[in-house]
A and B are shown apart, each in its own frame.
Chain A
Amino acid sequence: MKHWTVNQQRSGNTVSPESVNDEIRTSASSIQTLDRAQLPQACIDDSNLELYALHRVWCEPIYPKDVVDREGEQNNIRDTSVKSWMFAGLTYQLYTSGWLALTPYTLTGFKGGSLFLEWSGNALVFPSAANQYSNLMPGVSKYCKVRMSANGVTVAERYGASHMEHWRLFGSVFLPPGDLQLQLEFQPTTIGPDEPIVSTAPLPILQLHLFSSKFFAMGRWR
């Protein structure tokens, strides 16, 4: 960006304080905001960048982790009366319907821009009783739906595991600056009209359990 040279110096000019000060003041005021056309190439690296100047990562390699010995598992519904050769998890005796949320997490210091979210884990779903006499079509297909949102904005949602499976959910969204509330939710298929929920033992039948859960988030603003 060019600016006017305030005092053009010529041979024989009288040097005065104002001539020097005006020129320096003009140069200083022009260095207020350099744009990309003025910055030298290859001038930026981590030696002259503040922490989180360009991006920031939030990551929990295992989540949730607020209950000891049960880290990475859904702790919303834990039925321990199932048979010993099964996970203590969600049964229809303790679950009615609707989304269940893992412990909310705050992404602090989001500066506004692109947010990439990724959530993955394993799930056990009991799929065998999908075909039910009183609901032949469309049936009661068994899934563990998963959904993640930031500040109420859904980033991604999908039908997840349908039996013993690993799943991964990821997506991006643009959000304004400010701390973000990350919400990770799952929803089993609601009980069907002919559902077998008890074995002959009689013991409750595990319908769903979610484990090995972890998430990764990255904000990019430059």
Chain B
Amino acid sequence: MSRIVQPPVFDGDEVTATGLNNRFTQFSQAGALNATNLRDAAVDLPQMNTTSKFMMLNSAQVNLGTESFDLSAPRTLASYSGATFPAPAPVLDGAGVSTHLGPLGWTLTSGEILRVYWNLNVSPNGASTTNWRVAGNGGTVLPVRGGGTVIVADSGHAWLAWLQWDITSAALANWVPVYGQSDFQRNFTGALYGEQLNQTQATTVIPPWLDTITQVREGEVNTTLDAKRVGWRGVSGAYYYTVPGAPITVWGIRVVLAGLAHAYHIGNVNYFAWDPAIADAAITLSYTSGNLMALHHTTG
């Protein structure tokens, strides 16, 4: 039903130009029509007022890494070997400069969402060392058919990549983990540093090696183990932020890397813990090119 409501003219009403004109202005003034006056598919791109942003508020993208598409000039990150926790390393370009989004200046408020997607070409190194076949931390001891035992990697080690942002200023000098993400620097038990899995909203795991058993038979290792490099592969990540509290202004977003962590649990709570037993200079992570993009839009 139209919102245009006009009382009729009655016998005896005074006819004036003003009165007649007022009766027709409802057809032209803003606010006279409502949703029931629109036909299906009436609103399309030509009707959208694109001079003012709505729905899609902001978007940005940046190339990550060295942009060495033939893999000839990767950057290589060493695994940590200290007693505490490692500082994560931001993804750098070929000249050693940080590649990140920003300064952005996007203010996010209730009813809006930030979506971040990234990808990076990586190659974990160090599979040939096999010093990670350690009973307990990184290895599982299996019986060998005919006697003896062997240790196979348990697939629990990982390089970790996650997102940080700067919500302080355009100077981009105060990088912290994004909301719901940890820097894995908490001393959560004994001498172990890391974090619970419920703080990995923006984390991507990268396998450091692949250990295969060439044949198993009746629950036992029938032949040998074969440690393989994972090789060059594309890894990706995704993250959403839906403004659970007060508005914030996002100035920068970047990807950081660190390794190696390993799966751990205490009761029914799972963690990633940095593995101090895995220290080896041969265990590194190489990377070349990738992409980081962010979208800021309304949720309705």
Q: Given that A43-B47, A194-B218, A214-B201 are contacting pairs, would A69 and B240 also be in contact in the complex, using a CB cutoff of 8 Å?
A: no
B203 to chain A, nearest CB (A): 5
Contact with A along B242-262 (1 / 0, CB 8 A): 100000000000000000001
Given contacts A39-B42, A84-B265, A166-B237, contact A15 B48 (CB under 8 A): no
Q: Which residues 36-65 of A have a CB within 8 angstroms of B? A: 36, 39-46, 48-57, 59, 61-62
Q: Which of B156, B179, B216, B268 contacts A85 (CB 8 A)?
A: B156
Q: Are B142 and A27 in contact (CB under 8 A)?
A: no
Tell me the A73-93 residues at the B interface (CB within 8 Å): 73, 78, 80, 82-89
| 8 A Cβ contacts from A97-150 to B | 118, 120, 122, 124-134
Q: Which one of B20, B141, B216 has the highest number of Cβ atoms from chain A below 10 Å of its Cβ?
A: B216
Interface of B is mostly: mixed
B49 sits at the interface (CB 8 A): yes
Which residues of chain B are within 8 angstroms of A88 by Cβ–Cβ distance? 265, 267-270
Q: Are A132 and B54 in contact (CB under 8 A)?
A: no
B146 at the interface (CB under 8 A from A): no
Interface of A is mostly: loop
Q: Does A206 contact B (CB under 8 A)?
A: yes
Give the chain B neighbours of A43 by CB distance below 8 A: 47, 49
Q: Flag whether A186 is at the interface (Cβ < 8 A).
A: no
In the bound complex, how far is the Cα of B9 from the Cα of A128, in angstroms?
88
- Interface flag for A179 (CB, 8 Å): no
Are B152 and A128 in contact, with the CB atoms below 8 A?
A: yes
Are B200's CB and A39's CB within 8 A? no
Please tell me if B138 contacts chain A, counting CB pairs below 8 Å. Answer: yes
> How many chain-B residues does the 8 Å CB contact rule pick out?
97
- In the bound complex, how far is the Cα of B268 from the Cα of A80, in angstroms? 6
Contact in complex: A131, B216 (CB < 8 Å): yes
**Which chain A residue shows the least CB distance to B27?**
A27
- CB pair B46 A36 closer than 8 Å: yes
What residue in chain A is nearest B269 (Cβ atoms)? Answer: A69
Is A216 among interface residues, defined by CB-CB distance under 8 A? Answer: yes
A199 at the interface (CB under 8 A from B): yes
Kindly identify which residue among B46, B155, B206, B300 contacts A128, using a CB–CB cutoff of 8 Å: B155
Chain B residues with CB under 8 Å of A21's CB are 8-9
B187 contacts chain A at the CB level, 8 A cutoff: no
Q: Does B44 contact A (CB under 8 A)?
A: yes
B71 — which chain A residues lie within 8 A by C-beta? Answer: none
B215 interface hit (Cβ, 8 Å): yes
On chain A, the number of residues with a Cβ less than 8 Å from chain B's Cβ atoms is: 85
Contacts of B197 in A (CB 8 A): 70, 72-73, 87, 211-212
A-facing mask of B188-215, CB < 8 A → 1, else 0? 0000000011101101111100111111
CB distance from A17 to the nearest CB of B (A): 4
- Name B42's contact: one of A36, A70, A195 (CB within 8 Å): A36
Whether the pair A196, B198 counts as a contact (CB closer than 8 A) is no
Extra inter-chain contacts (17) besides given A61-B242, A69-B198, A216-B115, CB under 8 Å: A27-B24, A31-B33, A36-B41, A36-B43, A41-B47, A57-B299, A57-B300, A72-B198, A80-B265, A122-B200, A128-B155, A133-B216, A166-B236, A194-B216, A201-B141, A206-B263, A211-B200
Across the A-B interface, the 9 shortest Cβ-Cβ residue pairs: A133-B217, A57-B299, A17-B9, A33-B39, A45-B49, A46-B54, A71-B198, A166-B204, A164-B207
- 25 residue pairs of the A-B complex, CB under 8 angstroms, read A28-B6, A31-B27, A35-B39, A50-B35, A55-B300, A57-B297, A61-B180, A61-B201, A62-B180, A73-B197, A80-B267, A85-B138, A85-B275, A86-B265, A127-B210, A133-B215, A133-B216, A164-B156, A165-B235, A195-B219, A196-B142, A196-B216, A200-B143, A214-B201, A216-B240
